Amino acid sequence: MHGINESLEFRPVGVAVLTVSDTRTVENDTSGDTLAARIETACHRLAARDLLRDDLGAIRHRIIDWAARDDIAAIITTGGTGLTGRDVTVEAIRPLFDKEIDGFSVVFHMVSYDTVGLSTLQSRACAGIIDNTFVFCLPGSTGAVKDGWDKVIAAQLDSRHRPCNLVDIMPRLGE
């Protein structure tokens, strides 16, 4: 059986949220707010949060800094995964991956298709591991953030999810 086994212990993890946008501000960052609220509702720790412009160097620097922190087990970005010239999140982060989680993109697009249909093709959502830290890159829309968290990431960051989850393998990432 797959899903949450309520008889198992829940182990919270530290999660950082990075919004990448040239148009959003702290005051109107609905996607970042949505992620932060869902992380806390799931009883994880919001370990860090920031909002950066679409600047490859700044994005890369923030991700490297956060991945080196012991209190951050996962980083979720929102924004910059599209196809326009200013969308540079994937270019900033993908080269940093020690390992890419190919299945994340596949599953994200499956659930996104149910919400937005073929428009999911315009997203380059991806995930990987940087310095033993999981990194998920989501599109900038609030709907995409909800799909990514609710239908993919939340279960994999829940130590009770079976048959397996990412929390269980965290101690072994550096082997």
**Mean pLDDT for the stretch of residues 135-152:** 97
Task: Give the pLDDT band (50/70/90) at residue 85.
Answer: very high
Task: Give the pLDDT band (50/70/90) at residue 23.
Answer: very high
Residue 2: the pLDDT is 86
Measured distance CA(155)–CA(103) in Å, rounded: 14
In this prediction, what percent of the chain has a pLDDT beyond 90? Answer: 98
Is pLDDT at 38 greater than 70 in this prediction? Answer: yes
Give residue 163's identity as a one-letter amino acid code: P
Is pLDDT at 117 greater than 80 in this prediction? Answer: yes
Residue 78: burial class (beta carbons within 10 Å; 0-12, 13-18, 19+): buried
Q: Please, what are the domains in the chain?
A: 13-170 (3.40.980.10)
Question: Which of helix, strand or coil describes residue 47?
Answer: strand
**Mean pLDDT for the stretch of residues 9-38:** 97
Residue 14: the pLDDT is 98
Question: Which of helix, strand or coil describes residue 71?
Answer: coil
Residue 1: the pLDDT is 62
Residue 164: the pLDDT is 95
Is pLDDT at 108 greater than 70 in this prediction? Answer: yes
In terms of pLDDT, which residue wins out, 174 or 48? 48
47-81 pLDDT, tens digit each? 999 999 999 999 999 999 999 999 999 999 999 99
**Mean pLDDT for the stretch of residues 2-29:** 95
Give residue 135's identity as a one-letter amino acid code: V
Q: How many CB atoms lie within 10 A of CB 46?
A: 15
